[in-house]
Chain A
Amino acid sequence: GAVVSQHPSRVICKSGTSVKIECRSLDFQATTMFWYRQFPKQSLMLMATSNEGSKATYEQGVEKDKFLINHASLTLSTLTVTSAHPEDSSFYICSARSAGETQYFGPGTRLLVL
């Protein structure tokens, strides 16, 4: 099946620093990638939709200047959490899809901001 990787799997950073998370589709070209955030015992909340070569579409309440998304190629999207604060600590998950409806998820990145 389709494989999506994320890097890093876990990151701990100091408040005020920026963190970049990479999402790659390994064996297919992803026309669209999605970024989700999941807090403990809660559902996945969509943050933004990213199409290759165009600006990301952010969900209401998600600050585009704080969560920078770059979808530079059909296999790579990056999420940069700028000036991270403790309330940004969460589980960040990306997903990718090609022409069909199925989304394939990455393994997630656990971010802890001290």
Chain B
Amino acid sequence: SQKIEQNSEALNIQEGKTATLTCNYTNYSPAYLQWYRQDPGRGPVFLLLIRENEKEKRKERLKVTFDTTLKQSLFHITASQPADSATYLCALGDTGRRALTFGSGTRLQVQP
């Protein structure tokens, strides 16, 4: 069955450092992958989308990579700030099924 793995342990880093979050998947060939941010008690907020034929995508301090051979996506936040503290979810989608399949998320805590 399809499986998406995100590190369930919280990631604690110092302000100013680069945070790197990992999303691995098995038994899946997604057409695209999305990253969302979720704050406690709130709905997810869309951050970035990367397609299967793209290696890397950037948006301001955010960078996403997508390796379909390794079946892995990395999500980087450079010059991290305490305001970046949240849970980050990866989600996979394909062209046939319009719904997304979500990972369980990784909590990021940026210490001032």
Residues of A within 8 A of B (CB): 1, 4, 6, 32, 34, 42-44, 46, 49, 91, 93, 95, 97, 101-108, 110
Contact = CB atoms under 8 A, between A and B. Distances in A.
Given A107-B43, A108-B42, A44 B32 contact: no
Nearest to A106: B43
A43 B103 contact: yes
B46 A108 contact: no
A43 B41 contact: no
Nearest to B101: A46
Contacts of B41: 91, 108, 110
B104 A43 contact: yes
Contacts of A106: 43
Given A44-B89, A101-B32, A108 B102 contact: no
A93 to B, nearest CB: 5
- State the 10 A-B residue pairs at the shortest beta-carbon distance, nearest first: A105-B43, A43-B104, A44-B102, A108-B43, A43-B102, A105-B44, A93-B43, A107-B43, A46-B99, A106-B43
B89 A43 contact: yes
A4 B44 CA distance: 11
Contacts of A104: 46
Contacts of B104: 42-43
Nearest to A57: B99
Interface string B18-46: 00000000000001101010000111111
Given A6-B43, A104-B46, 10 more contacts: A1-B46, A4-B43, A34-B100, A43-B89, A44-B89, A44-B102, A46-B101, A105-B43, A108-B41, A110-B41
B42 A103 contact: no
24 contacts: A4-B43, A32-B98, A44-B44, A49-B98, A49-B99, A91-B41, A93-B43, A93-B44, A95-B43, A95-B44, A101-B31, A101-B49, A101-B93, A102-B49, A103-B46, A103-B100, A104-B46, A105-B36, A105-B45, A105-B46, A106-B43, A108-B41, A108-B42, A110-B41
